[in-house]
Amino acid sequence: GYVLVCAHAWGVNLGSLPPASLRLALPGSTTAVIGRSHQGFFFEGLLGAESPLVTCISRAHLELSPAAAGGRVGTVEVGNLSANAVLIGGKTLSKGERMEAQLPVDIC
């Protein structure tokens, strides 16, 4: 599987949160959708349920899939399902775009 680790959240002192609350475990063998509708508890736990920043995370924001057949080990395909642009390893991914990324990779 995969583990997403929150390394930065605007206006949040991550050091004050329990380490387990910064990690989101995902299956590695199937496609996973990441967003407020799927892991609302995770994002609300990081930002606070009443934070206006929670709405910056779409209900279905990203899709992570195992690499296509023949892909390198440790590679995932990332799809942006959101109108909000996403940075994958420093490259902008607009809504509907997909790209392969070698793990570990920064997702912003």
- On average, the pLDDT of the chain sits at 89
pLDDT at 30: 87
Query: What is the pLDDT, as a whole number, of residue 11?
Result: 86
Q: Peptide bond before 19: cis, by omega within 30 degrees of 0?
A: no
pLDDT for res 71: 63
Provide the sign of the torsion angle of the four alpha carbons 73, 74, 79, 81, taken in this order.
Answer: positive
What pLDDT score was predicted for residue 32?
93
Alpha-carbon dihedral sign for residues 52, 41, 87, 95:
negative
Q: What is the structure's pLDDT at 86?
A: 93
Return d(Cα 15, Cα 100) in angstroms, integer. Answer: 31
- The answer to whether the CB of 61 falls within 8 A of the CB of 35 is yes
Q: Which residues of the chain have pLDDT under 70?
A: 68-71
